[in-house]
Structure 1
Amino acid sequence: MKTIILPLAAAACAMCAAQGAFAQSTPTGVTLYGIVDGGVEVVTHSPGGNGGTAARVSSGNMSTNRWGLRGVEDLGSGLRSIFVLESGFELDTGVSAQGNRLFGRQAYVGLQNQYGALTFGRQQTAIYEMFGAFDAFSTNARYSLSAVDAAFNGRADNAVKYKGSFGGLTTIGYYSFGRNNDGEVPGSPETSRDVGGGVSYSAGNLQVGVAYDQYQGNTQAIRQRNAKRLAAGANYTIGQVKLFGGYRWLQDQGADSATAMGTHTNLYWLGASYQLTGALQLLGGVYYTDQRHGNQDPLLAIVGADYAFSKRTDVYTKLAFARNRGNSNLGAAGVGTVVPDENQTAFTVGIRHRF
């Protein structure tokens, strides 16, 4: 083995040194960027205490808070090295988001050319990356599609991902060896595995997309259990109006729980945005979940307005209503943010700055 490995290692080192000498003479760029978003929120039937009305400072109402570093280096012949390190945080407390991770939103490195990008690290799933375009409130906001299903804001650790864009066509495929820092079990490749992909297409005023995601149980005992999602969405622009709609099928066998009995639901949503003036935008969306083997069927309705002072700073307001029954607990900001079987009304007003 040494007679094979040592020459290969020496050759690899020589190639890296030669490439490094070349790369130093080519342009290199690193960009610092981010979003800071916060305001005041009032919500009814909030969990904790007596389940009454809560008033508080809220974080990430229109866009989740983040700061990041994005880098690119031209390696010649159309080839570039790329990286992203992106950190989420809660504005009201200053703590890191995504389980208190430093770079919990994204952390990857890879290569890119005219045929696409191949990247390695913690990355967004296809459903997350594609479906922000098919929700009036995007999937990065507190009151949005991701409140109904957190998978629309999903990421996978230990992932290899390909993304390519060819005219109006975009394709994504990825494989995670351990989606939540709990996989990569020797001799058990199924444990915590996540695989998926998607395709979107834009033509004129129309954009459509479809994406699939399947992940396995996060321990060896439940590695055969899985959660499967298939989603399709579209948007269409008519003058100052943009229409949104979509569907998501879910079959969850309890991939994250040794006791869960499984879930089969259909999610439907519609939305619209209207650019009333150059600075003022009105938004609305309705999200309905059909639980196939139960009578909970929660519904979330949201309206909002956004006023841009500039390209970087805007103020906004949102009003949401969540209807629950049969012990469901969907709140305006997500599952578990309301007392079970209670309806919730939520109102927020805030400011967002991009840099």
Structure 2
Amino acid sequence: MSSRLNRVRGGHSWHQVFWWALLSAAACAASASHAQSSVTLYGVIDTGVEYVTNVGPKKSSSVHMPSLTSSLPSQWGLRGKEDLGGGLSAVFVLESGFAPSQGTLNQGGRLFGRQAYAGLSGQWGTLTLGRQYSQIFWAVLTGDTLAPNIYAAADLDPYLTQPRVDNAIAYTFTSSGLTVGVTYSLGRDAVDSAPAGGCAGQSPTDWRACKAISAMLKYDAGKWGVAAAIDRNYGGGGTGSPLPLSSQTDTRAVINGYVKFGNSTFGAGFLHRINHGEQTPTVFDATSNYWWIGGSYFPLPDIALDAQFGHITVSSSASGGSVIAARAMYFLSKRTSVYVNAGRVFNQRNAAFSIDGGVVPPASTPLPGVDQTGAMVGIRHLF
């Protein structure tokens, strides 16, 4: 989605605790295991009530419950690992996203729309096949201190919180804090929305249509870290898609990082994008530059304060904008917390960014050039 550098009880980042819960057998997870294999159930349910201003042509206000994300996206999953001997293991992940407000599936209604892959892991690295995250997602986890929170700098580029690709082959190698990753998709996201990079999936006639490739280099030293990644989507979705032709590409390059000082964490990043697709208020046939800075502070072990600012500029176009977001969270336990969110987006004349990252566009989208404010109270439980 990350994001993810805020600290919690015991001096750890609560985002780190969350991702550890997703990537390993957490003590609170229900699991079945025997001598050389295990299957772990994990997840999070996160929901609340939000208020958003200046929605649609009437500039109306809306009170509703989000469906895509709150402080974190609601999800559950199964993670398995079998020891094959000689340092080799078989691994798999099945991960489902859902909307607590309705009990419905996200990611286009897929049962395992967040992740669904199997592979092999050893001293040489991990090779996996299936629906997986682009490497840019793992890179942005390093320096984005607030996303996938409902209000965050990522509202200026929603793709960064959900860059998953179908039919993907991924390789990752980690050693001494250094991680290298590459992902190649044979045809991405036949049912995803345009902001998520939707395309027509694998094509039997056009070798380039709907392909995707990404690569990442990351170093994490504990007190500081830095990551860089490149992500390219090829078109071929046909009329009405963001990249109709397979000769068109949408490319992002990002560098970001974090540093910790006592009870505080600061993160910042810069992303350069070249999109050759059709121009809309949020998809630019132009070069854009997007940067963000944010931080988190723990005045007490049970209280986390987060703030973030982001800004995007688009070449030769008044289609940029800025966003400021803040959150206060109280940890009732290591697994359960309550929080208050607030955010505001400032749109330039031709831009229509929404502060509301919790619903599918255009549900809360303002008119071009209109600013928007959001506020939310919520509760989250990890399991």
Q: Same fold (TM over 0.5)?
A: yes
5 Å-filtered alignment, 1:203-218, equals 203-218=221-236
SS class of match (1:127): helix
Query: Contact between 1:159 and 1:175, CA under 8 Å: does it hold in 2?
Result: yes
Residue correspondence of structure 1 range 78-93 to structure 2 within 5 A:
78-93=87-102
Matched, 1:230 2:248: no
Name the counterpart of 1:338: 365
Cα deviation code 1:302-331 (max 9, x no counterpart): 011111111100011111010112131111
Whether the aligned pair in 2 keeps the contact of 1:218 and 1:255 (CA below 8 Å) is no
Partner residue, 2:348: 325
Change (3 A) 1:211 1:347: same
Match of 1:51 in 2: 59
Q: How does 1:1-355 map to 2 (within 5 A)?
A: 27-47=36-56, 50-59=58-67, 60-138=69-147, 140-152=148-160, 153-181=162-190, 182-219=200-237, 222-254=245-277, 262-334=285-357, 336=362, 337-340=364-367, 341-355=369-383
Secondary structure, counterpart of 2:374 in structure 1: strand
Alpha-carbon separation, structure 2, partners of 1:156 and 1:330: 24
User: Which structure exhibits the higher relative contact order, with contacts defined as CA atoms closer than 8 Å and separated by 6 or more residues?
Assistant: 2
Letter matched to residue 251 of structure 2: K
Deviations 1:28-70 (Å, cap 9, x if unpaired)? 111111100001100101237x331111122421100101110
Alignment check: 8 A CA contact 2:236 2:247 kept = no
Give, in whole Å, the separation in 1 of the partners of 2:350 and 2:101: 30
Cα 1:261–1:200 change in 2 (3 A) is closer
- The range that moved more, 195-204 or 76-85, is 195-204
Considering fraction of residues, name the structure with more helix.
Answer: 1
Task: Quote the Cα distance in structure 2 between the aligned partners of 1:67 and 1:236.
Answer: 31
CA positional deviation for 1:272:
0.6
How far the C-alpha of 1:107 sits from its partner, in A, is: 0.3
Q: 1:255 to 1:187 in 2, by over 3 A?
A: farther
Q: Which residue does the alignment assign to 1:9? A: none
Larger CA deviation: 38-47 vs 141-150: 141-150
Describe the SS at the equivalent of 2:99: coil
| Structure 1 residue 25, shift from structure 2 partner | 8.8
Deviation of 1:141 after TM superposition, in Å, equals 2.4
Report the Cα offset of residue 264 of structure 1.
1.4
Q: Is the 8 A contact 2:153 2:325 kept in 1?
A: no
Aligned partners of 2:52 and 2:356 also within 8 Å: no
Q: Which amino acid aligns with 1:353?
A: H
Deviation at 1:145, TM superposition (A): 3.8
Which shifted more, 24-33 or 149-158? 24-33
Q: Distance in 2 between matches of 1:326 and 1:256?
A: 15
Distance between the aligned counterparts of 1:145 and 1:270, measured in 2? 8
Q: What amino acid sits opposite 1:298 in the alignment?
A: G
Q: Which amino acid aligns with 2:107?
A: Q
Q: 2:234 and 2:46 mapped to 1: Cα distance? A: 34
In structure 1, give the amino acid aligned to 2:116. Answer: A
Q: For 2:119 and 2:245, how far apart are their aligned partners in 1? A: 32
SS where residue 318 of structure 2 aligns?
coil
Contact 1:225–1:255 (8 Å) recurs in 2? no
Question: What does the per-residue CA deviation read over 1:113-136, in whole Å, with 9 as the maximum and x for residues that have no partner?
Answer: 122110000000111122123112
| Per-residue Cα deviation, 1:271-328 (whole angstroms, up to 9, x for no partner) | 0100111010100000100111212321010011111111100011111010112131
Q: Distance in 2 between matches of 1:46 and 1:262?
A: 25
Name whichever of 325-334 and 28-37 sits farther off.
325-334
TM-score, normalised relative to structure 1: 0.88
CA distance in 2, matches of 1:28, 1:326: 57
Following the alignment from structure 1 to structure 2, what is the Cα–Cα distance between the partners of residues 238 and 128? 25
| Inter-CA distance 186–256: structure 2 relative to 1 (3 Å threshold) | farther
Give the 3-state SS of the residue equivalent to 1:130 in structure 2. helix
Mark the structure with the bigger radius of gyration: 1
Aligned residue pairs, count: 328
Contact kept? 2:183, 2:215, Cα under 8 Å: yes
Letter in 2 for 1:159: A
Structure 1 residue 95 displacement after superposition: 1.1
Deviates more, 1:236-245 or 1:327-336: 327-336
